[in-house]
Structure 1
Amino acid sequence: MRTAGLETAAEYCVVIVTTATEAEALSLADHLVAEHLAACVQILPIQSIYRWQGAVHRDPEWQLLIKTPIALFEPVRDRLLALHSYEVPEIIALPIIAGSPAYLNWIKEQTHKPSRG
């Protein structure tokens, strides 16, 4: 049994990124939405526990949930790498396996590949 819209949903993803400050999270989100690389970015305060350079760290961070077509992952990643303050930022994409057709269409309408210039 197939669910209507699954093929369309597979074209989209949520890119997850973390930052050290709310200001950086807002700046990254502003760039991505203004440049049509993301339709929407949600920003959440989180607590991260991670290993870095041989030590365990526990830090507050800000998590961005970036909604975009999978076809734009590389331009999104490249833009994030150019702007991010971390040496090795978390930039991972999770596929959207199902979604409201109207919402997925809205993502498509709000995003496009950057023009080459």
Structure 2
Amino acid sequence: MYYFIYVTTPTEDEAKKIAKHLLEKKLVACVNFWKINSMYWWEGEVQEDGEYAMILKTKAEKFSEVRDEIKKIHSYTTPCICAISIEEGNLEFLRWIDSIVEG
């Protein structure tokens, strides 16, 4: 089974730092990131900020390790780190993930 892991960060630099860290450890095969606008509740008020969304592509069995590594270096107190199951996909793409992600 495979996951897309959705993460948000406050800056592009932080997104790149997290991506590089996870790629170098071969915990993910690929990371996409882009600028987003977010609105959310924080400390009793509705906040609005620019953020960066990330999609990390990996094996489901790596989720706990990926989550723990992100939490070590993420600047947010409560980072969004959520797994989305890939039910079906291009087999060549999924095999490529297998060839990159260790374990």
Whether TM-score is above 0.5 comes out as: yes
2:20 pairs, out of 21, 24, 30, with 30
Distance in 1 separating the partners of 2:39 and 2:96: 35
Choose 1 or 2 for highest CA Rg. 1
Show structure 2 runs of 5+ residues with no match: none
The answer as to 2:90 corresponding to 1:100 is: yes
Question: What's 2:52 paired with?
Answer: 62
Show structure 1 runs of 5+ residues with no match: 1-10
SS at match of 1:76: helix
Question: What's 2:41 paired with?
Answer: 51
SS at match of 1:82: helix
Deviation at 1:65, TM superposition (A): 0.3
Stretches of 4+ aligned residues off by more than 4 angstroms: none
| Matching of residues 69-84 of structure 1 within 5 Å | 69-84=59-74
How many residues align? The count is 103
Distance in 2 separating the partners of 1:112 and 1:57: 39
Question: Percent same amino acid among aligned pairs?
Answer: 39
| Matching of residues 11-22 of structure 1 within 5 Å | 11-22=1-12
Task: State the Cα deviation string for residues 4-35 of structure 1 (Å, max 9, x = none).
Answer: xxxxxxx0000011000000000000011111
Task: State the Cα deviation string for residues 50-89 of structure 1 (Å, max 9, x = none).
Answer: 0011110110000110000000000000000001000000
Deviation at 1:112, TM superposition (A): 1.4
Higher share of residues assigned strand: 2
State the Cα RMSD in Å: 0.6
State the one-letter code of the partner of 1:95. Answer: S
